[in-house]
Amino acid sequence: MSDHATSPAASSAGTADFRDHLIRYGGDAYPEIVETASGCYVQDASGRRILDFTSGQMCATVGHNHPNIVAAIRKSCDTALHLFSGMIPRSVVELAGALAKILPPPLRKSLFLNTGSESNEAAIKMAKLATGSFEVVGLGGSWHGVTGNAGGASFASDRKGYGPGIPGTFAIPEPNAYRCPIKHCRDTCDRTCMKVGFELYDMQSTGARAAVIAEPVISAGGVIVPPEGYFDALAAEAKKRNMLLIFDEAQTAFGRLGHWFAASYLGVTPDIMTVSKTLGGGIPLAAVITNDEIEAKCHARGFAFYTSHVSDPLPATVGLAVLDTIEREHLLERSREMGGYLAARLEELKSRHEEIGDVRGMGLLRGVELVKDRETREPNHQLGALTTERCLQLGLSMNIRRRPERGSVWRIAPPLTVKREDVDLAMTIFDQALTEMKALLAKRSSSAAAR
């Protein structure tokens, strides 16, 4: 690739035309209209196939347009697509029952909604109603959604320019051992970040403590895997303050980590769990889940979350198909197997590229952090942006999370149905793109020095 190589956006014919009537909503936008998607690949209007290593928006975990998902949608077309919100379709009852069988007890009551934002909004409202309080503590780097309560407890990005957030929302530092937010640890987190965070929270609290909300793996914040024992300690801190513990398992449930739920793997059961993305197979479907006691208390106090698409039959039918597909195709085991293979390939790349400072994650959720220097760990944002763009030109879609003060991290999450040859192709493209962009930056630096 030359120093003056054309970007995908610049080379795309008609790019401006298809965006003429669209509001831009953030993030890196693909420069071509996408026509079809199947399995691990999408195809754009030019006919180019792109290997999708983000599973859509982390949602198509059983692959794009899986035949079982398509069949479930067709089944709904013959039964019911939408009903009055007070009517409960059979698919909703069956999905709630199926979840109850695999959830860690005593979690067994579900409310089905559309998005992760909605499920976290409902969870926080339930926690506030059940406790009679309003303060919510989240982790740095977290992403729980864009609506009021959910957005208020999200600290990865997108907080600036909108005015005051929800009152009573607090952040504690995330347990990032590679890039310790309190400049205390290096590579081994001893949970001092949690201790300091709760001490600061206690100084500011009015005593109206409601909930602690956390992702089992902090995904948007850089694929941060908290250390062993972290969530036991977090649950203890919440209990000490009479706060409910909410797990946001939008990206960790239903096989992404190689288990039905991160909570089951961790051996820590939250008071409330939210799921979304990985339950819908590409269709908008989310749920907030709790135990009998909290559900009864919220109902007695008038809990209401009555939306146009609560308990919809079509997405619930798809959710049942997702659970059935995971079980029939042994995708939990496959996630562990292919996740291990992916991790090994990434470690091999790390051994050859000094700019890869860290490789981390679980199952088929992996993070690759780029640095300028492994000792100083200064983030390499420019290399990350150029390499992501070059990967796309070469046929690989990967999501990079850029936080100026925290790092430049690729979030890699292929579908659970990914094959070894797909991983091998992705790593070949990644290797080529990284090599080329390192050379390009070195050339630019040399030219600048000569001037």
Distance, in Å, from the CA atom of 341 to the CA atom of 355, rounded to the nearest integer, reads 21
Q: Is the model's pLDDT at 12 over the cut of 60?
A: no
Output 451 or 256, whichever has higher pLDDT: 256
Percentage, residues of the chain above pLDDT 70: 95
State mean pLDDT over 53-61.
94
Annotated active-site residue 382? The verdict is: no
E-assigned strand segments in 56-184: 109-113, 135-139, 169-172
Q: How would you list the strands of the sheet with 365-370, edge to edge?
A: 356-362, 365-370, 407-412, 399-403
List Cβ neighbours of 327 (8 Å cut-off, separation of 6 or more).
Answer: none
Catalytic one among 118, 241, 251, 271?
251
Q: What is the mean pLDDT of the chain?
A: 93
248 noted as active-site residue: yes
Q: Give the Cα separation of 381 and 432 in Å (integer).
A: 18
Catalytic residue list contains 143: yes
Catalytic residue selected from 334, 345, 406, 411: 411
Given a cut of 70, whether residue 5 has pLDDT beyond it is no
Structure confidence at residue 404 as a pLDDT band (50, 70, 90):
low
Q: Which amino acid is at 327?
A: E
DSSP three-state, residue 273: strand
Of 32, 215, 237, 295, the active-site residue reads: 215
What span, in angstroms and rounded, lies between the C-alpha atoms of 315 and 55? Answer: 18
The alpha carbon of residue 173 and the mean position of all alpha carbons in its chain are separated, in whole angstroms, by 19
Eight-class DSSP state of 226: P
CB 391 within 8 A of CB 429: yes
pLDDT tens readout for residues 357-371: 999 999 999 999 999
Is residue 295 annotated as part of the catalytic site, yes or no? no
Give the closest residue to 150 by CA, choosing from 117, 175, 125. 117
What confidence tens digit (pLDDT) does each residue in 266-300 have? 999 999 999 999 999 999 999 999 999 999 999 99
Mean pLDDT of 317-334: 98
Measured in whole angstroms, the distance separating CA 358 from the mean position of its chain's CA atoms is: 19
153 pLDDT more than 50: yes
Domains of the chain, CATH where assigned: 33-62+331-450 (3.90.1150.10), 67-328 (3.40.640.10)
Confidence category of residue 250, pLDDT binned at 50, 70, 90: very high
Which helix (DSSP H) or strand (DSSP E) does residue 96 occupy? helix 90-102
Q: What percent of the chain has pLDDT over 90?
A: 86
The first and second tokens of residue 202, run together, are 């206690």
Give the tens place of pLDDT for each residue, 154-211.
998 878 898 998 999 999 999 999 999 999 999 999 999 999 999 999 999 999 999 9
Q: Which of 109, 125, 277, 406 is catalytic?
A: 277
Q: Which of 32, 248, 295, 355 is catalytic?
A: 248
- For residue 204, the Cα-to-chain-centroid distance in whole angstroms is 30
Model pLDDT, residue 382: 93
- Identify which has the larger pLDDT, 7 or 360: 360
What pTM, to 2 d.p., does this model score?
Answer: 0.93
The conformational region for residue 401 under phi > 0 = left, psi -120 to 50 = alpha, else beta, is: beta
- State both tokens at 20: 């003429």
Mean of pLDDT values over 397-417 = 84
Query: Which of 250, 243, 251 has the alpha carbon at shortest distance from 270?
Result: 243
Within 8 A by CB and 6+ apart from 318, the residues are 69, 72, 73, 76, 280, 281, 283, 285
What is the Cβ-side half-sphere exposure of residue 333, based on CA atoms within 13 angstroms? 5
Identify which of 386, 215, 232, 210 has the alpha carbon closest to the alpha carbon of residue 298.
210
Q: Rounded mean pLDDT of 94-113?
A: 98
Helices (H), 153-191: none
* Cα 294 to Cα 22: distance, rounded to the nearest angstrom: 42
Measured distance CA(279)–CA(282) in Å, rounded: 8
Catalytic status, residue 410: no
Average pLDDT, integer, range 290-319:
97
Q: Which residues contact 94 (CB under 8 A, 6 or more apart)?
A: 316, 320
pLDDT surpasses 70 at 14: no
| Cα 229 from Cα 292, distance rounded (Å) | 27
Provide mean pLDDT across the span 403-423: 89
Active site residue 277: yes
What is the H or E stretch that residue 316 is in?
helix 313-328
Instruction: Name the active-site residue from 135, 143, 256, 334.
Output: 143
